[in-house]
Amino acid sequence: MKSQYILSMATLVTFLALTACGGDGDSSDDFVCDVTSTATSVKTYQSVPGIGTYVETGTLRDDKIYFTQEYEYYDAAVAREECEEMKSEFGSWRSVNCSGNTMTVSDYSDTDDIDEYANVMRETCATMKQMFESGDFYGDEDDWDEEEW
């Protein structure tokens, strides 16, 4: 079942791995990742010190989960670079829109299991929080194994 969420997770991993150099933005040193869900939706909020914020909202509709991911980067140069990368890798089959420091990506998953989707997002948050607390979070992007996601 997790393989159905690889596209969403790969996008989130891209946000983290490709911006691993950090930036000068947020003064908070706290990594935040929170997942809330209802019977028909899941919202994931993530704030990464020095990088930016990530919000993903997934909504169950017509036996599919439609999701929108919004990335807000603290560094405009990083935002431009990430936008070009996202358009290059996913733009042919995902909606990718960029404006200023914000990138918005929309797509859908062919699954209707909103509970599993929420659980995968919670597991991802827990893993990333553990990585942040252990000091492994800002490692080289080559160290990220997307197959584990």
Which residues face 34 on adjacent strands?
45
Q: Does residue 1 register a pLDDT over 80?
A: no
Question: What pTM does this model have?
Answer: 0.75
The total number of residues shown for the chain amounts to: 149
Is pLDDT above 60 for 13?
no
Percent of the chain with pLDDT over 90: 55
Average pLDDT, the chain: 80
- What value does the mean pLDDT take over residues 113-132? 92
pLDDT at 11 over 90: no
Higher pLDDT, 90 or 7: 90
pLDDT in tens, 49-58: 888 999 999 9
Task: Give exposure, 39-67, as e/b (b: 16+ Cβ within 10 Å).
Answer: eebbbbebbbbbbbbbebebbbeeeebeb
